[in-house]
Amino acid sequence: MSGSGHGRSKRSHGADAASPDARELALRALALMDEGTPVQAAVDSVLAASPAPGRERRLASELAYGSARERIRTEAILARLLRKPQGLPRPMRHILAIAIHSLLFQDGIPAHAAISEAVKQVEHRYGVRLARVANGVLRSLQRLGQAPLEQAWYEDARDEHAVRQWRAACRFWSLPESIADLWRDAYGEEGALALMRRSFQRPWTGIRINARHPQSAALRDALAAAVPEAERASLGAWGMAFAPGALPEEVLGQTPAQLRESGLLAFQSAGSQAVLAELGLDAWREPVWDACAGVGGKSLALLEAGVPVRLATDTSLARLSRLAALCDSAGAAPLLLALADAAMPPLSRWSGHILVDAPCSGLGVLARRPDIRFPGRRSREILRSYPRTQVRILTALATRLQPGRELAYLTCTLNPQENEEVVAALLERERGLELVRSWTTPMDHPWLEGMYGALLRRR
């Protein structure tokens, strides 16, 4: 069975690529995600402890991400093929999810291989009886042909007619109704469906070349020569984005990981780079305080562009430590780092600009954060909590902003309640602020992550 293009890998892995090793690694990563570990951290943790070769590691990552992205769709499939799928052990359901991903979306994996490996995994853990159940489920799915790749197959006659197609769309695009309904209310049904389709695609990989490195131009030229133009895009002078699987495994004699360690490139999402450029933050020349620094991707990008970022604060020591290491490897100017909650700033005033990459629901990056779409992770109650936090942070920081200086508010979500409405609430509270410009990812953009940014100035 092969897919119809919904999130399918463009590059075949070959019949032998679906080895038990890769499947076991993916299974461990999915177990960590069940415990609340974000997808990238789960995959990194599993791969760090494994001696598996590069091909196995890449496949394990694809299987983990794909199975996470498709979880709601997979649960709908199992509900159609089994009487009580929730009665199966959770690891067994993950094994089936990995096999279903291979059957639906991996052209290079023969169906018999995907089924055989899954059955072996189940038998090893749970014995012959459940192995037969696994074999029966996957054979039944195989006999369905292309039907599970069509939205209509997910319609449930028990749903009221008025909502039947909408709920089928949620199952098909593997999105909780809480998120889908929010998008429909904000952008209309067609806009919501467009976002659902885009969030189901595999994300592009964004990199940023360190313009200050002696080999920066050589790396940019080598990447442009190695990747077909249709599978890459430029992001300003030094940013690049690559279609899934298109980033070369080696360039200039080094892997991307080695290039990152040498400070020649950094991984930064394309949307994150775009919003900095669209707001014009590379033109800042006064000292900058990054008040929600995280691991510091935006701070480092601004430093490489010549912006004088001087202070970075965050609530996580681990994230600040990573920022310090990144600055050191990139040869960037050292920063003053401090543990601090942006809602309770450690300074009474700041003479320069302030950058706020605020905590948010992450609805713009569902493609690369598929764990966000797990049931319960973004309930309606949780979604309502973010604007309150964001308003508290912005209000606290705005009082530290001096006349003529600017505050940049960024999120990686597509939700007016966290974006435009938060900015409107701040402007209502702080009458001395004005909105200079704002930007959000175009709704019809085929691969750029959903980002929002607003630039405010103290009069």
pLDDT, average across residues 80-97: 96
SS3 of 127-150: the string is: CHHHHHHHHHHHHHHHHCCCHHHC
The residue with tokens 């007016």 is: 416
43-57, 245-259, 315-329, 344-358: least confidently modelled range: 315-329
DSSP assigned state of 333: P
Residue pair 105/63 in contact (Cβ under 8 Å)? The answer is: no
Strand 353-357 relative to strand 336-339: parallel, antiparallel, unpaired?
unpaired
- Percentage helix, strand, coil, to 5, in the chain? 50, 15, 35
What pLDDT, in 10s, does the model give residues 65-84? 999 999 999 999 999 999 99
Residue pair 328/164 in contact (Cβ under 8 Å)? The answer is: no
Confidence of residue 101 (pLDDT cuts 50, 70, 90): very high
Q: What is the pLDDT of residue 335?
A: 86
What pLDDT, in 10s, does the model give residues 330-343? 777 778 999 999 99
What pLDDT, in 10s, does the model give residues 128-146? 999 999 999 999 999 999 9
Pick from 158, 112, 162, 160: which is nearest to 138 by CA? 112
Distances (CA, A) of 455 to 294, 357, 380: 20, 12, 28
Query: What contacts 397, CB < 8 A, 6 or more positions away?
Result: 291, 342, 345, 354, 356, 407
Q: What is the pLDDT of residue 361?
A: 97
Query: What contacts 324, CB < 8 A, 6 or more positions away?
Result: 335, 337
What pLDDT, in 10s, does the model give residues 403-450? 999 999 999 999 999 999 999 999 999 989 999 999 999 988 999 999
Q: What is the pLDDT of residue 422?
A: 98
Length of the chain (residues): 459
Q: What is the pLDDT of residue 20?
A: 52
Query: What contacts 188, CB < 8 A, 6 or more positions away?
Result: none
pLDDT of 11 higher than 90: no
More confident residue, 9 or 365: 365
Query: What contacts 311, CB < 8 A, 6 or more positions away?
Result: 287, 288, 289, 290, 335, 336, 337, 338, 350
220-224, 229-233, 260-264: least confidently modelled range: 260-264
What pLDDT, in 10s, does the model give residues 354-378? 999 999 999 999 999 999 999 889 9
pLDDT of 177 higher than 90: yes
DSSP assigned state of 171: H
212 phi, psi to nearest 5 deg: -85, -5
Q: What is the pLDDT of residue 10?
A: 39
- Percent of the chain with pLDDT strictly greater than 90: 86
Q: What is the pLDDT of residue 443?
A: 87
Query: What contacts 385, CB < 8 A, 6 or more positions away?
Result: none
Residue pair 18/56 in contact (Cβ under 8 Å)? The answer is: no
Q: What is the pLDDT of residue 267?
A: 94
The residue with tokens 């010549």 is: 306
pLDDT of 317 higher than 60: yes
More confident residue, 109 or 26: 26
pLDDT of 52 higher than 80: yes
pLDDT, average across residues 18-30: 84
Query: What is the Cα–Cα distance from 265 to 260, expressed in whole angstroms?
Result: 5
Confidence of residue 150 (pLDDT cuts 50, 70, 90): very high
The rounded mean pLDDT for the chain is 92
